[in-house]
Amino acid sequence: MKLFGSPLSPFVRKARIVAAEKNLEYEYDPRPSPLGWPEGFEEINPLKRIPALLPDSDNPDFAINDSSAICAYFEKLNPNPALYPEAATDYGRALWIEEVCDSELANKIGLGVFRPVFFNLATGKPADAQAAHTGFEVLASLLLPYLQEQLGERDYMAGDAFSIADISLTTQLMNLNLVGFALPKDRFGPLRAHFERCLTRPSIAQFVEHDKKLIEKMGFVVERQID
């Protein structure tokens, strides 16, 4: 198998965490990203989005695109440990949380907070801290309270075990941290505790360390904005 996509993409990270949980081996190509697409990538994904997976590394004619499709494929490829709940209600909840995180949360974090800092720095511009703060407050006004309400007093977002719902949420919040925005404990204590708990899993911790080193190697100095 061969997986394509920028390491700082929360969707690529999501697929890689699921693969790590399931001990799946794959070749990784980090080149495709919104900052630049390698020649021929449109043959794999004509929409030019990441991640993309070639189940057969030598056959670009069949690719599985979209993180949700890739993660579901990994689940069938190696069902243990299960990352999708067995009970119908918990399964439905997990898919819903995954969808919320992949669509609305990704949009609000990516465009509202991450882009004004990271993309500005990546293109030689100063970080737009004011825009990022405004974006965070939009995020904090509805989506974060909703997700915290969905978590309630449980350890996991769906059912009684770690699942695709927890992974989908954590990978998005990791990009908040990368640009200096931690979840305030006074407003989102339970959600932050869940996030920090997920970060200790080996499948996720490896990417926390990797992302930190990558940011440092790129020469980015991101000041802590919210903690």
**Predicted confidence band of residue 53 (pLDDT cuts 50, 70, 90):** very high
Residue-range definition of the domain harbouring residue 193:
88-217
164 in Cβ contact with 172 (< 8 Å): no
pTM greater than 0.85: yes
Element (H, E) at 221: none
Quick check: 23 pLDDT over 70?
Answer: yes
Per-residue pLDDT at 176: 94
Same domain, 102 and 7: no
pLDDT at 226: 66
> Residue 83 falls within a domain, yes or no?
no
Task: Give the DSSP letter string of 141-187.
Answer: HTHHHHHHHHHTT-SSSSTTS--HHHHHHHHHHHHHHHTTBPPPHHH
82 vs 122, residue with greater confidence: 82
What is the arrangement of strands in the sheet containing 27-29, beginning at the earlier edge strand?
A: 27-29, 2-4, 52-54, 64-65
Q: Kindly state whether residues 118 and 54 are assigned to the same domain.
A: no
- Both 189 and 211 in one domain: the answer is yes
pLDDT of 59: 87
Q: Which of 77, 102, 127 is the last residue before a domain boundary?
A: 77
* 32 prior amide bond cis, ω within 30: no
pLDDT in tens, 120-149: 887 888 889 899 999 999 999 999 999 999
pLDDT class of 223 with cuts at 50, 70, 90: low
Q: Which of 77, 108, 127 is the last residue of a domain?
A: 77
Same domain, residue pair 111 and 52? no
Residue 198, pLDDT score: 97
Q: At what angle do helices 202-217 and 164-178 cross, to 10 degrees?
A: 20
Q: What are the percentages of helix, strand and coil residues in the chain, rounded to 5?
A: 55, 5, 35
- Of 9, 29, 187, nearest in space to 106 by CA: 9
Task: Among 45, 77, 109, give the residue marking a domain's end.
Answer: 77
